[in-house]
Structure 1
């Protein structure tokens, strides 16, 4: 099991890194390797990337029903996973996609992206439109996936609600370079807080303040 989370300032390279790992962005030879393969040259079976292209797909804004959308990407074949995701994400199968809110549309998109089993899941903050309950249930589902079968999740996020016990590893990225990384237990912010969630938040806040001091004012 590996669930890795990272949070850095805007523009530091999170999306670029995920696109490199998914093979959607070309890199110099022998600089990116996932399971021993170059993701851009050879493609990666079982790698799922859910990023900005995914959430802005115009297809999910057309006058189409949920069962048709889910069936189009294998929902009828992976029936158990489809039904579990519908329940976890609290999806109404009677929704018409052109007439739902952004949060409801995002739930259907997540179900579409995750119906097929994956071995590496790359998430570029795709839970921003979910309410607190849906987001908590969704993250719990992902954590169970990594505990029940061999798979890895890399999750870039700015939101820390109910995330303290979720990652096994953390990565600190600044201006396109990795400054710190390792198992979650390695990181200590010097003093306990009211909860693990706020402790994790304080760690990330300290990283961001350090990065801002090193970078200096943007308009300097």
Structure 2
């Protein structure tokens, strides 16, 4: 399945001939990607194994990684994401919670007001209830999941046109996650906004997306495609997103195993009977017996 959702201009997100390497000496993280998404309301789920390129793609769309390749065109709201970045775009990723600044001894109410919470009081208060956040929490004394909730309040309290989410629900309990996804779905529909969401948690997501895409080793196997799929497709996929994702990921592992037979670096245990240098060293200085 490789049907594009393109309905012609105007598009909200657009990429053409996108290839990206983290440095010149490694394999490309993204390979010749071209796709587009129409203006919302739309909510696209990115499915793919670890290392498929989902996070890199979202970071590029967010303008956080510089592209130097000639001929590449990446746009949001018809504006170049590196030279004329558009307003109304919000990116939320997992690295935020590890920033030492947000782990300091600052009260949540002060933290939110420091980034403009007082300007978005109505949406801020709505999100405080949805995400079950205590304004008197101290950022250094709360759990990773609670800190993630504060991040989501901060990132979502201002209105956005395009929302890029990279695994930000991984720390949330199931109730808070469900309430958040309900809010995002309604917000997208009411304001005609666009969401692109990379996740590995598919339970409870069947009614959330309008489109689903499949990435493998830096490329799209299935371009963003209208969801739900027919009850049973030619590939045997059904309308449960968990089942679709599980089948795709199994196919990804099989595909990679075939590449390993023809020279791609193999994962898993080393099958050589000759001990590795590391094993030899640590065996020599093992005093546990």
Q: TM-score, normalised by structure 2?
A: 0.71
Q: Which has the higher contact order (CA 8 A, sep 6+)?
A: 1
Aligned equivalents of 1:171, 1:85: Cα separation in 2: 28
- The counterpart of 1:15, out of the listed 55, 60, 65, is 55
- C-alpha deviation, 1:12, in angstroms: 0.8
Correspondence list, 1:177-216, <5 A: 177-181=219-223, 182-186=225-229, 188=232, 190=236, 199-216=240-257
The range that moved more, 19-28 or 81-90, is: 19-28
Q: Do 1:23 and 1:41's aligned partners in 2 also have CA atoms closer than 8 Å?
A: no
1:5 equivalent in structure 2: 45
* Unaligned segments of structure 1, at least 5 residues: none
Aligned equivalents of 1:55, 1:94: Cα separation in 2: 18
1:152 correspondence with 2:194: yes
- C-alpha deviation, 1:120, in angstroms: 0.4
Larger Rg belongs to: 2
Q: TM-score, normalised by structure 1?
A: 0.92
Number of positions where the alignment pairs a residue of Structure 1 with one of Structure 2: 215
Aligned equivalents of 2:134, 2:206: Cα separation in 1: 30
Deviation digits for residues 81-128 of structure 1 (CA, Å, limit 9, x no counterpart): 110010000011111111111111111111011111111000000111
Identify the structure with the greater strand proportion: 2
Identify the structure with the greater helix proportion: 1
1:151–1:3 distance in 2 versus 1, CA, 3 Å: same
Q: Do 1:168 and 1:184's aligned partners in 2 also have CA atoms closer than 8 Å?
A: yes
**CA RMSD of the aligned region, Å?**
1.7
- C-alpha deviation, 1:191, in angstroms: 7.2
* Unaligned segments of structure 2, at least 5 residues: 1-40, 268-289
Aligned equivalents of 1:207, 1:191: Cα separation in 2: 9
